[in-house]
Structure 1
Amino acid sequence: MDGCTIDEAAARMGISKHTLRYYEREGLLAPVGKAPNGHRRYSDEDLGWVRTIQLLRGTGMPIREIKDFVELSRSGDHTVPERIEVLVRYREELLERMAADRERLDFLDFKLEVYRGIVGDPDANVRAEVRATA
């Protein structure tokens, strides 16, 4: 059987073996194939689902909602409108957080320029000019 071992999958995905097993146990991943020796073998499709789970977690979606989303996905195309609704909601929340982060970053940049100007940082004006033209 092709695929990668749990050690390889964990390394490729930047997560622990425990996390991979947790995803399986919670039903976030379909049952993973096994080699003749009984060891897990993760397919590219399995790793694609792991990446999907990671990205959904990054939006702030809780595991229980990811599980619901995965179940909708497995249920077929008739659930696409429900999946769109879920994704739109998290997209809007993510855009709000990004706007707030942009405001905080602008504040930090401004304060850094002020403070670097006070201590005589010669690059402060260059950075200010670059940012003004960006």
Structure 2
Amino acid sequence: MKRRLFFPIGEFAKIVGVNKRTLHYYDAQGIFRPDHVAPNGYRSYSFRQFYPFYRLRMMRSMGLELAEIRDYMEHRSPERLDQLLGRQQEWLKRELDGMKRSLRIVENQRRLLALSRTIVCGRVAEKELPAARLILSRSARKQAAGEDWPTVEQIAAEHERYAAEQQISAGLGVGAMIAAEDFLQPGREGIISHFFTVVDPPWRGVRRAYRHIRPAGRYLVTCFRGDYDDTAEAYALLRDYIRAHGCRVGDFSYEESILEDMSTADPDGFITRIAVPLREPATELR
């Protein structure tokens, strides 16, 4: 049987899964031309063009721009293909890292939402918490103690920008650390030492002065509902528990939002968790 060599444009388009306009566009742009054009302008494609067309579509799916593909097709060679694919390989690796990070952020956000439905506020419990890597802001304690709130807010804004630029946030929002010498004294619970962001490992590229490990171990944990600045009642509960049980606590408390203004428009619905480490042997991240 005689082998069929050519396919009309409509049939070729149907087989490869595009419309005829796409093939006309690729032809006009010099990206993929028909094997044969009759004097009357009738286009047809050969059997051997199927594979190159699928490779072209594959290049598009890898994120290559049509201009890049056109430039390559006009001057193609094994060496240029290797260079083109090498550049795209690096781009795809960066895209993949970004997608993995986005997935972790989505998973962490959904975990917080699920946690918020199980939280009982207004009581203290002892819980095991895992170790976490944090990046810290510069110290805000002096400014907070002096009620220089514009500077405190500036420090927080600088920190948020730095965390965003590093692109390593775990998507858990910005927290605050309060020194034990402050939160153990009534009326000093709002003196913030540092703002912090939980980050995904590794944290290469983060300045060492801003690195901090919240150790794994036993913590006193309480949650409260309402604006995240209204911490006095929650710390009063913690101080009562510490006195009643003779607890020895670590250097800082860690305040983290479970529900905040991205979750609800009503500040009365915010939920904040305060965790105070107990002085016990702890397993640190390595």
Any stretches of 5+ residues in structure 1 without a counterpart? Answer: 74-78, 121-134
Structure 1 CA distance for aligned equivalents of residues 107 and 114 of structure 2: 10
Instruction: Specify the alignment match of 2:61 in structure 1.
Output: 58
Higher gyration radius (CA) = 2
Give TM-score, length-normalised by structure 2: 0.34
Residue range with higher mean Cα deviation, 82-91 or 106-115: 106-115
Structure 1 residues 115 and 5: CA distance shift in structure 2, 3 A = farther
SS of the counterpart of 2:75? helix
Instruction: Specify the alignment match of 2:79 in structure 1.
Output: 81
Instruction: Specify the alignment match of 1:125 in structure 2.
Output: none
* 1:38 Cα deviation from its structure 2 partner: 7.0
SS of the counterpart of 1:42? strand
1:73-112: CA deviation from partner (whole Å, max 9, x where unpaired): 3xxxxx3222211210111011111110111112213323
Identity %: 25
Structure 1 residues 29 and 106: CA distance shift in structure 2, 3 A = same
SS of the counterpart of 2:7? coil
Please point out which of 79, 103, 108 is paired with 1:110: 108
Any stretches of 5+ residues in structure 2 without a counterpart? Answer: 119-286
1:38-84: CA deviation from partner (whole Å, max 9, x where unpaired): 743333332222222222222332222211211233xxxxx322221
Please point out which of 30, 44, 48 is paired with 1:45: 48
- Structure 1 residue runs of 4 or more that deviate by more than 4 Å after TM superposition: 116-120
Is the 2:36–2:45 contact (alpha carbons within 8 Å) kept by the matching residues of 1? yes
Indicate the RMSD between aligned Cα atoms, in angstroms.
2.8
Q: More helix by proportion, 1 or 2? A: 1
How many residues get paired?
Answer: 114
Instruction: Specify the alignment match of 1:91 in structure 2.
Output: 89
SS of the counterpart of 1:108? helix
